[in-house]
Amino acid sequence: MSVELRLPTLLRPAVNGSATVTIEGETVGEVLRTLVAEHPGLSGQVLTDDGSLHRFVNVYLNDDDVRYLDQLDTKLAPGDTISILPAVAGGAN
Amino acid sequence: MSSTTKLLLETSQLNEMIAHCLHALPFEGCGLLVGDPISATVTRIVPTDNVEKSAKIYSVDPLAHLKADRAAEAEGLAVIGVFHSHTHTDPYPSPTDIAQAPDPTWHYVLVSLRSEVASTRSYQIVDGVVIEEPIEIHDVSN
């Protein structure tokens, strides 16, 4: 099935400036791997070299952080939206 | 990077950030800046939880970030930056802040609570280079 994937401003130049793209996939991981394959400029920014989720991004399926679901194995349903946002962190340490 | 080199805030927004950071003590406080990315004008402050519950590091509550991002985009605005406090150090980005700065177009506001009077500064962080920018107060109604 195809799902809508929303991208943060920082990653949009790699997809011709689009805020959203539509991608086929049955799981979150399948969609993200296809995203990176179709847009190589995103390589290393969403998934690590070993294929896991990069720690500097948060990925949501609708309103849920996929790290609290089945991570990249989270299954998709028709009408789902995946959102990628940068993890916002830092501190005096 | 945005086309401006200053951050436009209202006094109430500045006070809201400081109040949130004081309320978060003894931990670092944090939140997001929503506004116009071109003019670097802040429309509203979105205080969030520091999910790290730490005096030395912070992470903006991811779900609050998602909601703020969606709401901003629906209004034709954007999340244009983040603020956080340093409870015992100066208002200058730490190596952690610099290494984890998520977006070179964002504005990074630091609120230092080390002195009795809070000190606030704003920066842009581009490829690891820290550039301080002035905070301009533009109170509409005053």
Q: Give a yes or no: residue A92 inside a domain.
A: no
Amino acid identity at B113: L
Residues of A in contact with B104 (CB under 8 A): 10
Terminal Cα-to-Cα distance of chain B (whole angstroms)? 30
What are the structural domains, with CATH classification, of chain B? Answer: 7-137 (3.40.140.10)
- What was the pLDDT predicted at B57? 95
A46 vs A53: CA distance, rounded Å: 6
State percent of chain B over pLDDT 90.
Answer: 92
Residue B2: pLDDT band (50, 70, 90) is very low
Please calculate the CA angle B92-B95-B98 and round it to the nearest 5 degrees.
Answer: 80
Count of domains in chain A? 1
Nearest to A89 by CA among B84, B19, B139: B84
Q: Is A57 part of a structural domain of the chain?
A: yes
- Does A6 reside within a domain? yes
From A9, A83, A90, residue closest to B96, measured CB to CB: A90
Is the Cβ of B88 closer than 8 Å to some Cβ of chain A? yes
Q: Is B57 on the interface with A (CB under 8 A)?
A: yes
CA distance A45 to A56: 8
Q: What range defines the domain where residue A67 resides?
A: 2-86
Tokens of B108: 């990074």
Q: What is the pLDDT of residue B3?
A: 47
**Chain A residues in contact with B32 (beta carbon < 8 A):** 88
pLDDT in tens, B105-123: 999 999 999 999 999 999 9
Instruction: Work out the average pLDDT over B46-59.
Output: 96
The CATH number assigned to the domain holding A62 equals 3.10.20.30
Cβ <8 Å between A85 and B65: yes
| pLDDT-derived band at B4, boundaries 50, 70, 90 | low
**Inter-chain CB proximity A92 and B88 less than 8 Å:** yes
* CA distance linking residue A56 with residue A51, whole number of Å: 14
| Residue A73: inside a domain | yes
